[in-house]
Structure 1
């Protein structure tokens, strides 16, 4: 066994038999051919936010050196290497007045996130990142480097976009960018004692907003640590995050109902707090500051996470789910509800394997693992899942952190069957993890 490269997710050890630090796509091809000739499991590793799949005793290919980003401002596209982060893509696109459909964390690998679908901070307006892919460079289990487009190997092109990592090692891709330089965004942070009112108000608000508004609701109990602002230490908070590409005046009008929750608190109608609003950072910003909307942790740490893709959840059941993960939970848990719909529900001109397009929301759970028992975390997540069960459609491939032993629910049955057929064709020995839906 060898040591794995530096990784963002530190909660689960990675013990490959061989580690290949790829400097070129040819290094990737040679590593895959080596592993395939010996029947060894193969996995790729970029930033390490997620886990690479079953690779103990196998070959782990580190792609972090393949981090080139080239923007074509005329075609509004970017060619992205397998090791590039979303932050690098944002930085390269910004001088041209363009932006990628990136997620909330700038340190996440852009290619790996896109293969899982790619739920971005502007997702309701522009859809999934996977649907913007124009071509992919991939090495399949037979050691062949392929350029995959809708015209060349259309079925593989379908499966790679939304199917994840079980069809080969993607060394780079070309993706369309959007013409966004600035946005109106930020968060309104409420005292957690108002969680029920905020959850109900948020769900009602999402029924009124246009597709140009992408938002999420998140709650957690902050640890009592000296490096945190004093007003947050040990405190339960719930926040609404908003990203909107329209002008500031329209943005202010759209978020007014959210701020009205705070106005009700200021009037003294809620005995737990004089005002539920702890902070309000909504403002116009350059797209290069869009990561401040969610302010995801920038440092490596240990965590476990899972998700539930939802149709239209009942408001009271959603409140109960937030309560289960709140201050009375046996461990610190971040619960986040992403509003879906809009362009995410559209069927792209070139279909992809991205699932659950009719979903209304995505619930995400994440728990730090500093001395926390994974079994206890799973038990809590099971309770949350049972509460929301009437609305649950499945799970999200991009938001399963540490649950690599459970792949069921990532795609609808027909999509899983079609992806399994692709695995049988391109990786019959299951070197990249085997069939879907196991």
Structure 2
């Protein structure tokens, strides 16, 4: 139970709102995009700037109160019980230099704000399947960009970070200043501090040919088999994935696609439309597409490639890397989720890796997945009473695909973290060892113990 004295101290030190359960605005501050996760902190601080984060962290350290941070809550996989939640949505500082192709964002800035500002200058950023997520949180988990085969992981292109470590110090880290901490923050998620701002590279982009093709779910075997062969032939300026979709009756889904089982090919080509169309031609010849939405595109419309839900929803997700995607993998997957199977999952995506993903970063980081050829992610709408069925389906698919999986995961898409062995799968053994050592050094009291925390047992508050 938090004392009134401690609460008043926090309210004096933090300029943003400090709220307790039941107070006006509390629910809005703690709300996550993933509606299946309802946090229950003892107190929430709507931090306004880096000074607020420093003050709140020093307060937490002095009172031994565990801490979590949230910008949008897309990665809210587990419920926070007790402690202090710092909500960073007010931290909206953003500027960029179109000549130097560099941007700097505060912790609460979403990709959409960045994309709308930079595209008119012929630039793009390394966002993921939706621009509705925060740039910082997404990148700290490595960042798996829509255009990753062309440019690599988002974390590879971070120039510097301002981070408040659990001792309450605000540090600016880069390749020349505290390089070990800089490396482990980029891909190590939120284990070592709270990042208040980030400076990163932008990229020139002119011709861009992209979008999606929808096929009938009844042809899933034909489409997936063709994708597995075709994906291994595409050049590095192509980024692509394919997904099995079982679309529910929701307002944001176009009416003809509601309650339909479809296969969705996602395609991005950096180059002119004619060359992009030639590369895509083998997949256009497969099956009888229900809709072909691929064409010349402005990068401002990048959300149209994956068509992620534009509104908060309750969901469960989990992912792992696959060592290949041949006929055997397709067959094992379709036995669990193919035509005629009562599969409760909204989406099963197979993403082609390789290309620039496989290239080592010029500056050491903690990203996993460079040597993996494919990535699998499973998503289910976690609406009661379907939660048990969704969880069971995820486990069944992973079991069926175990002979073809590498045993590794990508931390942003890992899903609900299990025991320490399970959490460690998000990194190589060498990186995980370095993370655990750094966790002991920077966070000896284990204040940052929520979400995908590693290396230490929970310390009672």
TM-score by length of 2: 0.88
Instruction: Give 3-state SS (helix, strand or coil) of 1:261's partner.
Output: coil
2:441 counterpart residue number: 425
Q: Deviations over 1:77-104 (max 9, x none)?
A: 1001110111111112112211111111
2:217 counterpart residue number: 192
Aligned residues between the structures? 425
Q: 1:318 Cα shift?
A: 2.9
**Equivalent of 1:286 in 295, 298, 306:** 298
1:400 counterpart residue number: 414
2:60 counterpart residue number: 35
Instruction: Give 3-state SS (helix, strand or coil) of 1:307's partner.
Output: strand
Answer yes or no: is the 8 Å Cα contact 1:307–1:395 preserved in 2: yes
Q: 1:131 Cα shift?
A: 0.3
Residues of 2 paired with 1:296 and 1:437: CA distance? Answer: 35
2:198 counterpart residue number: 173
Residues of 2 paired with 1:81 and 1:227: CA distance? Answer: 30
1:248 counterpart residue number: 273
Alignment of 1:150 onto 2:169:
no
Question: Where do 5+ consecutive residues of structure 1 fail to align?
Answer: 263-275
Residues of 2 paired with 1:246 and 1:227: CA distance? Answer: 31
Answer yes or no: is the 8 Å Cα contact 1:189–1:278 preserved in 2: yes
Q: 1:315 Cα shift?
A: 2.6
Answer yes or no: is the 8 Å Cα contact 2:40–2:79 preserved in 1: no
Answer yes or no: is the 8 Å Cα contact 2:32–2:72 preserved in 1: yes
Instruction: Give 3-state SS (helix, strand or coil) of 1:277's partner.
Output: coil
Answer yes or no: is the 8 Å Cα contact 2:409–2:425 preserved in 1: yes
TM-score by length of 1: 0.93
Higher mean C-alpha deviation, range 394-403 or range 80-89? 394-403
Higher mean C-alpha deviation, range 184-193 or range 389-398? 389-398
RMSD: 1.9
Answer yes or no: is the 8 Å Cα contact 1:43–1:53 preserved in 2: no
Residues of 2 paired with 1:226 and 1:18: CA distance? Answer: 35
Answer yes or no: is the 8 Å Cα contact 1:408–1:437 preserved in 2: no
Alignment of 1:12 onto 2:37:
yes
Instruction: Give 3-state SS (helix, strand or coil) of 2:302's partner.
Output: helix
Residues of 2 paired with 1:54 and 1:301: CA distance? Answer: 15
Residues of 2 paired with 1:437 and 1:383: CA distance? Answer: 30
Residues of 2 paired with 1:166 and 1:40: CA distance? Answer: 16
1:339 counterpart residue number: 352
Q: Deviations over 1:216-270 (max 9, x none)?
A: 10111122457643432221100110011110000010000001113xxxxxxxx
1:435 counterpart residue number: 454
Report matched runs for 1:282-431 at 5 Å: 282-326=294-338, 328-393=341-406, 394-403=408-417, 407-431=423-447
Answer yes or no: is the 8 Å Cα contact 1:331–1:372 preserved in 2: no
Answer yes or no: is the 8 Å Cα contact 1:19–1:61 preserved in 2: yes
Q: Deviations over 1:19-60 (max 9, x none)?
A: 010111100111111111121111111011111767421110
Instruction: Give 3-state SS (helix, strand or coil) of 2:187's partner.
Output: helix
Residues of 1 paired with 2:273 and 2:228: CA distance? Answer: 23
Q: 1:356 Cα shift?
A: 2.4
Q: 1:421 Cα shift?
A: 0.7
Residues of 2 paired with 1:401 and 1:41: CA distance? Answer: 22
Residues of 2 paired with 1:314 and 1:389: CA distance? Answer: 14
Higher mean C-alpha deviation, range 64-73 or range 370-379? 370-379
1:221 counterpart residue number: 246
Q: 1:436 Cα shift?
A: 4.4
Q: Deviations over 1:121-175 (max 9, x none)?
A: 1100100000000000000000000001111101001100011011110011000
Change in 2 beyond 3 A, CA 1:230/1:301: closer
Answer yes or no: is the 8 Å Cα contact 2:107–2:134 preserved in 1: yes
2:146 counterpart residue number: 121
Question: Where do 5+ consecutive residues of structure 2 fail to align?
Answer: 1-19
Higher mean C-alpha deviation, range 122-131 or range 1-10? 1-10
Instruction: Give 3-state SS (helix, strand or coil) of 2:375's partner.
Output: strand
Instruction: Give 3-state SS (helix, strand or coil) of 1:162's partner.
Output: coil
Residues of 2 paired with 1:383 and 1:248: CA distance? Answer: 41
Answer yes or no: is the 8 Å Cα contact 1:43–1:54 preserved in 2: no
